[in-house]
A and B are shown apart, each in its own frame.
Chain A
């Protein structure tokens, strides 16, 4: 191509221009980083070489594109560097600053071109003149000597940037000798740094991504058709398997092409920190980690604003001026750490400062002042909940209230922005110690695993990311375990009360028979429909968990998110739509929107996730207990989560059989224990009444505890624990209504009094080891967790191939295998078949969503011991037991009927 004519308006090839803009901005970021490093004494051996190469490339391409100001400036800068190199003089801090100016001006020009198509009247001449001038006047010799001596010293901490306000007097100016800077490499003879790579336009990548989406939909469709029409045909099955495999590998590949390191966002941060420090006079040391962590290109843009916002907040409002820090006994230089890492399929970014932290009291006061909550509400908020106030809209549009204002500014916007793209924001702060913000983003946007559920005749998709658990209750369980708090239905789940939302009511899909009283989907009154199995999908919206009642839980499927019309975007309960395997359209549900529509307060913590460790759970405040009298009017409590039911039975019904008390209960024999038999409390002095209150527990077999009077369900804080063994069978004490209640260790009492009804392991016997294979994280974790509670030792892997590898490596280690059937790569059938040949002794159990006799038969035909539906975990335990693999052994089983 010939050079463009001077007077003609430049005709720039848009593709070349786009490439130039992208390359140059990258190059500027790279150069800036190196200059910043050099400024703080960590010089890169490639500094000069990189500067030369990048400036040269910018000069060359901009000339080609008739961007003459960029040409002039990069040319002058190149000459300036050449002089430095040829004279072997040192780069002084002044030089570095000058080069930084060059970078800034180049960036302005390039951004002008990008945004407006031209360089505009930005004047480069003064800087070009300065560069020429300085190149012509090398620094004095003494300075050169001094810099040569200092230059080579590497920084003690290469990861730390100490940006500070203009250096106090007495600090030596630093620079590096050119020999160090050159790093020995020839500066200009660098080959194409991207040998072996090609540049591809983003538009093409986007198109490939869309096509990939279509391909996945077609794959799903074909697999479904084969399932329907040629289920028995092995050839079709194999072709499908191959199609599945190739598509997922291709998907992975295409995803990878779209991945970019978070460096694109992180790289400008040290510079920003430096500038902010200069502006505020603060001193902050900035650590950046994990810049190579990759995330989908589209999401890089999504995280940019929140990250910049948080860094700005941390310096503006978090980190104190250094006098204040000194006065508080902190290190005078504040620390800001920015970390990125992959964590369970998400990218996690943390921004942590050691500043003043956020004072929950100030937040409370301010929220009251703004009229967002009442004083009483404010007082009732825990510190954690108070912290959530910063996200309330209206909170952050604050006028300047020093110390806290800035921290809240725009936090609601930040969070909404992030959540809209499927991410999460968390804030943690300790007054006086600092603040940490956590940002979690999915790796990619467009294709996600989702659970399909059916409500009425319609199918909906729930993104796997918001799934917590799946619960299936049969009629009896549903009738007993769905309870009502005021008017709302709740289900007791892992020690929390989950609010339940009936999707059919919320979506008005239920025939009008139910009456029209239900405005929201929250179950009103005692209306849990009788005679019905209930499927609950436990979802998380922010910190909050709740249950969605659906008619049927189907399978998980990879879905391609498609945008929906703007008219529908106003419905907060949907985040998009997708095309399913059968070609039909399904709406994608948005857990947060549904919570909001159902009146579940996302800011409230009444059912926030309890800490998962046992100790923490026992001691967690706000735990509910059943309070009762037993023995000689002793006040006692048992944790509500252990209680299966509260009952009243006729006293006359309690019989003594073989020295133990039992009562007929729901068609079986319920053993009855009395706490006074174990505890040092007097025998009951209550006058015998006709009715005996019972607290029923379930340890795999029900046991009733006879008490005098059930008083209340209360929230208690366990005060002391009696692990010293001074009082047997208690967990500790708690004060309630001015009296001390003994908190019972129910398990211990029942073990002492009715050992035959508690799963117990013989001494020295090891728990059975299970290997669980499932490619769904949520499913696998949920199952493994459940099996552990049933006394199994569980190791889990995410694919059939991993399972096989583990089983081959650890032959004989496992007692049984539980595998999902549909997995990428080696699927469940393949795994079972292979194990059948290699380790025929090892029992394998299939678990699946498919409630299909064909699937069950096929699993059994290849050698599975049993095939269990994923929602019926108890059946899995029963099936394991039938094969002699029991998590807990029922000591002395035979005595039950004695």
Chain B
């Protein structure tokens, strides 16, 4: 897909909620984000995969809380470093994702998305749907669905996410 860098018609845009994670800027579609919560008590689940921090009570609904750094195999957060809980609407209901810090809601032109570069680490490919260059920064667009699954992650085989449907990649079982 070729970028249409400057066209006269106002480009179609989408809102993405962006956040920091280990020095990188990631984003999720705003409509997939239910809310952002500060410190929440999380009950650990012994023997669960390490990216699962535990269970969190979201107004009476019990949801999984996962550590996005661990999920993406990024370096662990320093002790006491700030974090927020991003509550996402997920195929199984709500899911909590712990990230470092929220950034703005970005309005990104749908046409600006690029296929993730080949240099993207293998373990990220299943989660990163596309890369969007903005003023001075690259935003990595994430898929929500593979986040909670342990065994299956999906590789980004398709190019950039199309404008409406959430990016759903072709299935390749990672393990």
Contact = CB atoms under 8 A, between A and B. Distances in A.
A507 interface: yes
A587 B43 contact: yes
A562 B62 CA distance: 7
Interface string B85-114: 000000010010000000000000000000
A584 B41 contact: yes
Contact of A579 (B47, B62, B149, B150): B62
Contacts of A458: 43-44, 46
Contacts of A573: 46-47
Chain A CB count within 10 A is highest, among B48, B54, B92, B148, for B48
24 contacts: A458-B43, A458-B44, A507-B46, A507-B47, A508-B46, A565-B63, A565-B92, A565-B148, A566-B92, A566-B148, A567-B48, A567-B52, A567-B149, A568-B52, A568-B64, A570-B150, A573-B46, A574-B45, A577-B43, A577-B55, A579-B62, A585-B43, A587-B43, A587-B45
Contacts of A574: 45
A579 B57 contact: yes
Nearest to A574: B45
Nearest to B66: A567
A565 B65 CA distance: 10
A571 B45 contact: yes
A565 B97 CA distance: 14
Contacts of B76: none
**Which 9 residue pairs across A and B have the least CB separation, nearest first?**
A507-B46, A585-B43, A565-B64, A585-B55, A562-B62, A577-B62, A585-B57, A214-B60, A567-B148
Given A507-B46, A565-B148, A574-B45, A584 B57 contact: yes
A584 to B, nearest CB: 6
Interface in B115-142: none
A568 B148 CA distance: 10
Contacts of B52: 567-568
Interface string A580-594: 000111110000000
A568 B57 contact: no
B27 interface: no
Contacts of A571: 45, 47-48
Nearest to A210: B60
A588 to B, nearest CB: 11
B56 interface: yes
Contacts of A564: 55, 62, 64
Nearest to A587: B45
Interface of B: 41, 43-49, 52, 54-57, 60-64, 92, 95, 148-150
Given A507-B46, A585-B62, 17 more contacts: A508-B47, A509-B46, A564-B62, A564-B64, A565-B63, A565-B64, A565-B92, A566-B92, A566-B149, A568-B52, A573-B46, A574-B45, A579-B57, A583-B41, A583-B57, A585-B57, A587-B43
Nearest to A572: B47
Nearest to A217: B60
Nearest to B150: A567
Nearest to A508: B46
A562 B56 CA distance: 12
Interface in A189-226: 214, 217
Contacts of A587: 43, 45, 55
Contact of B60 (A506, A579, A584): A579
Interface of A: 214, 217, 458, 506-509, 562-568, 570-571, 573-574, 577-579, 583-587
Contacts of A565: 63-64, 92, 95, 148
A214 B63 CA distance: 16
A583 B41 CA distance: 9
A386 to B, nearest CB: 34
A506 B46 CA distance: 9
A286 B95 CA distance: 52
A579 B41 CA distance: 12
A573 B47 CA distance: 9
A565 B92 CA distance: 7
Considering residues B41, B43, B52, which has the most beta carbons from chain A within 10 angstroms of its beta carbon?
Answer: B43
Nearest to B93: A565
Contacts of B149: 566-567
A570 B47 CA distance: 10
Contact of B43 (A506, A507, A566, A586): A586
B45 A568 contact: yes
Contacts of B150: 567, 570
B169 to A, nearest CB: 19
A214 B148 CA distance: 26
A487 B63 CA distance: 39
Contacts of A217: 60
A577 B45 CA distance: 10
A577 B48 CA distance: 14
B92 to A, nearest CB: 6
Nearest to A583: B57
A564 B45 CA distance: 11
B52 to A, nearest CB: 7
Contacts of A508: 46-47
Contacts of B64: 564-565, 567-568
A565 B62 CA distance: 9
Nearest to B51: A567
A158 to B, nearest CB: 51
Contacts of A584: 41, 43, 57
Contacts of A214: 60
A573 B46 CA distance: 10
A509 B44 CA distance: 10
Nearest to A563: B62
Nearest to A459: B43
B89 to A, nearest CB: 14
Nearest to B59: A214
Contacts of B47: 507-508, 571, 573
Contacts of B92: 565-566
Nearest to A562: B62
Nearest to B147: A567
A551 to B, nearest CB: 14
A735 B117 CA distance: 80
A567 B49 contact: yes
A273 to B, nearest CB: 42
A300 to B, nearest CB: 26
Contacts of B63: 565
Q: Which of B45, B48, B56, B148 has the most CB of A within 10 A?
A: B45
Contacts of B60: 214, 217, 579
A323 to B, nearest CB: 56
Nearest to B55: A585
A457 to B, nearest CB: 9
Contacts of A568: 45, 48, 52, 64
A583 B61 CA distance: 11
A567 B92 CA distance: 10
A578 B47 CA distance: 18
A249 to B, nearest CB: 22
B44 to A, nearest CB: 7
A222 to B, nearest CB: 14
A159 to B, nearest CB: 47
A370 B52 CA distance: 40
A771 to B, nearest CB: 40
A585 B60 CA distance: 9
Contacts of B55: 564, 577, 585, 587
A747 to B, nearest CB: 45
Kindly name the residue among A458, A508, A509 whose own CB sees the greatest number of chain B CB atoms within 10 A. A458
Given A564-B62, A568-B64, A585 B46 contact: no
A520 B40 CA distance: 31
A152 to B, nearest CB: 62
Contacts of A509: 46
A803 to B, nearest CB: 35
A570 B63 CA distance: 16
B97 to A, nearest CB: 13
Nearest to B41: A584
Contacts of A506: 46
A657 to B, nearest CB: 55
